[in-house]
Structure 1
């Protein structure tokens, strides 16, 4: 018996991920209709209903199977281009966080706060507490305010990494010597997990990403406590 999150996508946590899920369902329905039509034609031809030479060689049929695929591609391309532009759009972010990939951990720098930064290592299996997820928990989570535009600046210190959080619809490569950026808005409070999605070495699967979205007042309390500890 399947459990939640074992089949299909995780629940969307950002407007961008909601758009991606809608596009997935849209494209999947088109694929289903195409497969049904092709299967019907094959079955009809096997039963000799479409083997008439006048039908197979007609100009009308050739026009249909030329124009129809073009229309289908347009139906897929238009929403896809819309999402691509939405993913690149960054308007007035409330918070900017620089994320640096290392072998094999992440470090975070809150550029809007002086000297606020930390490293995030995976918690070993033997140190996990009940309720924590194996290979997904980190000793320091990236805390963000909910319903606020967040900009992530992604880079790497050594090799290629990829900062990925599926439920937020975010996946950005971390390239040494290059600064990439991505933006998102967490639409609900929660803890969201991801992993490095680039094969970056022997411990590639042991550098999780943990994002904790909290209300703004809790985020301000957290930043104050972190700055006092520095």
Structure 2
């Protein structure tokens, strides 16, 4: 049924969003003394991120730039430079923190890659995502790694065409309905949705009504090898 199995990276293979939540909290605590009471600082930060996606893309650097902008805007330019330096230090710390794999990831990838052509498709900043892949200890399981600016139908179609992959024989495994499942099933592929308990506010999407038979939801990544094996019986 499937010739190629692809995996998302952030919050599918390793922890990611929990770190963003940590630095969001630090941002709120840093900026709060300079912002009028009653202002929803986190909501303002998310709105700034949303506005800047087209210009900055995704990832820690984008988050950092939006954080600096939001801090200056929310404080009407009154936040001291040493507080901005604190935010900048957090961004650098975030960029250099080690990759933390979910339990059992290496075993899952070893089993899947022994049976299928296995690739990684992740979006975000090229330098940061490349560093994470290279230091993760699992890159040898992938026949190909693709780091993209966006995960939409056009991007998936382009990647599959460039790798000579028939969408009907392609299966994408990931934690994001918006980025990993909906665009893949829209071009004729299959999605395996493995939700993580924390999801970025800008990555929310409803479960599909069309092509709903083109995806399955599994509770944990550890169930993926067995599910794939059942599809090939």
Q: TM-score, normalised by structure 1?
A: 0.33
Larger Rg: 1
Report the structure, 1 or 2, having the larger helix content: 2
Higher-RCO chain (CA-CA 8 Å, sequence separation at least 6): 2
The structure that is strand-richer by fraction is 1
TM-score (norm 2): 0.33
